[in-house]
């Protein structure tokens, strides 16, 4: 007998699209991806685990926010390459604090649901800012500074990163604590813009720092030079 994971046609892709539906209302909450490991974890624990393409790792839904998904059923489509799971959603599904990720009308751009939960504290200001920058990518450059900056292209973005890094250094030399904080915030924002353009989640920076945590700076530098 084929086991559950083996029913998936993994030859098409290493990532399985997963549609997530609220069991009590049948509302579509989100769409995510699972690799084999994430599917196995989800089957074994009945708690939704996904593979994040931006974070490049397995993540348990709600690991930061506490907004977990208890899975009631798994259904695979006729092509064996898409999954539908029905869940009980704890809290909200979307990082914006809305119940569902599908809250924007495509043609008008208008939102059709309100924020139910302030998720800033749950996800942290860096992750929240990164997601906001991602959302601004397709905004009107005449009304959004982030969209305007991205629209001007790589050279402008990188020029701002270098400029803010320089201003932080001058503030450091001047021993101006308030200015150092201000310029560090500017530098962080512009670095996040650059990362967002390349779809690199700040979580991957955290992962790299964790990797280095038990490694001396000298050993890490030598490893890069080998």
Task: Yes or no: say if 98 and 106 are a contact pair by the CB < 8 Å rule.
Answer: no
Question: Quick one: tokens of 110?
Answer: 């208008």
CATH fold label, 5-122: Ubiquitin-like (UB roll) (3.10.20)
Of 13, 134, 151, the residue nearest 83 (C-alpha): 13
3 state DSSP class of 10: coil
pLDDT at position 1: 46
- In sequence order, what are the beta bridge partners of 17? 33
Contact 168, 185 (CB under 8 A): no
Q: Specify the pLDDT at position 189.
A: 97
Q: Are 84 and 77 in contact (CB under 8 A)?
A: yes
- Residue 60 DSSP class: E
Does domain 125-215 fall under CATH 3.30.360.10? My reply is: no
Per-residue pLDDT tens, the chain, 226 aa: give them: 469 999 999 999 999 999 999 999 999 999 999 999 999 999 999 999 999 998 999 999 999 889 999 999 999 999 999 999 999 999 999 988 999 999 999 988 888 999 998 877 777 889 989 999 998 998 899 999 999 999 999 999 999 999 999 999 999 999 999 999 999 999 999 999 999 999 999 999 999 999 888 765 555 555 555 5
Predicted TM-score (pTM) of the model is: 0.73
d(CA 22, CA 30): 10
Sign of CA dihedral 169, 173, 174, 177: positive
Rama region for 153: left / alpha / beta (φ>0; ψ in -120 to 50; rest): left
The dihedral sign for the CA sequence 205, 206, 210, 211? negative
Neighbour tally for 166: CB within 10 Å? 12
Q: What is the pLDDT of residue 225?
A: 56
Task: Please report, for the chain, the start and end positions of each structural domain, with discontinuous segments joined by +.
Answer: 5-122, 125-215
């Amino acid at each position: 007998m084929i086991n559950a994971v083996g029913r998936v046609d993994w030859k098409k892709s290493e990532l399985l699209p997963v549609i997530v539906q609220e069991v009590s209302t049948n509302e579509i909450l989100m769409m995510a991806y699972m690799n084999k490991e994430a599917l196995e974890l989800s089957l074994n624990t009945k708690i939704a685990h996904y593979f994040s393409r931006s974070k490049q790792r397995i993540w348990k839904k709600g690991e930061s926010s506490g907004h977990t998904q208890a899975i009631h059923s798994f259904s695979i489509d006729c092509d064996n390459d898409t999954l539908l799971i029905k869940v009980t959603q704890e809290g909200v599904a979307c990082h914006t604090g809305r119940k569902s990720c599908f809250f924007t009308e495509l043609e008008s751009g208008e939102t059709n649901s309100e924020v139910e939960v302030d998720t800033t504290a749950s996800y942290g200001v860096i992750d929240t800012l990164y997601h906001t920058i991602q959302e601004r990518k397709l905004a009107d450059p005449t009304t959004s500074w982030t969209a305007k900056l991205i629209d001007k292209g790589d050279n402008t973005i990188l020029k701002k990163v270098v400029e803010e890094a320089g201003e932080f250094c001058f503030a450091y030399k001047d021993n101006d604590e308030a200015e150092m904080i201000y310029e560090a915030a500017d530098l962080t924002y512009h670095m996040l813009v650059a990362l967002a353009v390349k779809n690199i989640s700040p979580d991957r920076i955290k992962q790299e720092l964790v990797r280095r945590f038990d490694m001396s700076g000298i050993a890490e530098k030598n490893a890069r030079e080998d």
